[in-house]
């Protein structure tokens, strides 16, 4: 099966894993202006799919077509440890070349604090904001709603929808309501059922 070229990332009959294939076959297209969700039970291989898109998981079959020079920003579900390191939220955004404008007030007020003094939800939002708003053509987010309260999830939805007009976005979440409201298309990993 071959999908038409979209200027984004095409995944065709993908089998991916590390020592052996753990997910597949999967076919989908990640296009600018669209938000793709990956859902499925624990252990279905959702994170492995994103890892295959960025080249850290092995492709055992099928293919991942990435246009040369495509800038991808990826945030995994585990945030890097920051304890004992003096980086502030503002400095993190500078590193990602992401703007502060548009951040929710509760995070804007905390931007000059060290990352290791922020709450889990604040850090989660900040890292995903930095990734989402970085100058990339494709953004991949793994479980961005972890540790986030309803207000944070609402702000994240707004940010994703706002960014999606120019960017291809793929995200994983175990929050089915979140996926339903933010995604244009959902690929159910492990069931091979595509909706949207």
Partner 1 sequence: MNEALLSGSLFLKPFLTGLAYALLLPVLGCYLRLRDEWLAALAFTQVAAAGALVAMAIAAPPVLGGLAAAALAALVKHHSMRVGNAIYALLYLGGWGVAVLLVANLPLAERLARALFDGQLYFSGQAHLMAAWAALPLALAWLARLSRTLLVARFLPGHLLATGRLEGRAHLGFDLLVACALALATMSIGVAAAFALIFVPAWIVCDAASGWRRALIFSALMGAAGYVAAFFLALAADQPFGPILALTLVLAAGLTFLRRRTVAHPG
CB of 87 to partner 1, least distance (A): 5
User: b/e map of 86-97 (b: 16 or more CB within 10 Å)?
Assistant: eebbeebbeebe
The 9-28 site mask, x for binding partner 1 (CB under 8 A), equals --------------------
Residue number, 132 or 189, with CB nearest to partner 1 = 132
Q: Which is it for strands 9-17 and 21-30: parallel, antiparallel or unpaired?
A: antiparallel
CB of 86 to partner 1, least distance (A): 4
**Gap between the Cα atoms of 70 and 93, Å rounded:** 21
In angstroms, the Cα distances linking 120 to 145, 146, 169 are: 11, 9, 23
The 128-157 site mask, x for binding partner 1 (CB under 8 A), equals --xx--x-x---x-----------------
Select from 23-31, 50-58, 174-182, 183-191 the region that touches partner 1 (CB under 8 A). Answer: 50-58
Footprint (CB under 8 A) of partner 1, residues 93-132? 95-96, 112-115, 127, 130-131
Q: Residue from 1, 19, 20, 86 that binds partner 1 (CB under 8 A)? A: 86
Residues in contact with partner 1 by the rule CB under 8 A? 53-56, 71-76, 80, 82, 84-88, 91-92, 95-96, 112-115, 127, 130-131, 134, 136, 140
């Amino acid at each position: 099966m071959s999908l038409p070229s979209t200027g984004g990332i095409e995944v065709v009959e993908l089998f991916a894993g590390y020592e052996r294939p753990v997910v597949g076959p999967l076919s989908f297209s990640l296009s600018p202006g669209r938000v793709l969700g990956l859902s499925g039970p624990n252990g279905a291989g959702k994170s492995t799919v994103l890892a295959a898109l960025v080249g850290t998981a092995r492709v055992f079959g099928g293919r991942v077509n990435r246009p040369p020079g495509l800038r991808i920003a990826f945030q995994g579900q585990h945030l890097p440890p920051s304890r004992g390191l003096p980086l502030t939220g503002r400095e993190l955004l500078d590193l990602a070349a992401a703007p502060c404008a548009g951040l929710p007030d509760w995070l804007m007020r905390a931007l000059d604090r060290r990352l290791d003094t922020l709450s889990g939800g604040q850090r989660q939002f900040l890292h995903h904001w930095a990734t989402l708003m970085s100058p990339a053509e494709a953004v991949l987010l793994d479980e961005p709603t972890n540790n986030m309260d309803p207000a944070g999830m609402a702000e994240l939805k707004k940010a994703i929808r706002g960014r999606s007009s120019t960017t291809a976005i793929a995200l994983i979440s175990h929050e089915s309501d979140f996926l339903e409201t933010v995604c244009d298309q959902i690929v159910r990993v492990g069931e091979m059922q595509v909706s949207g």
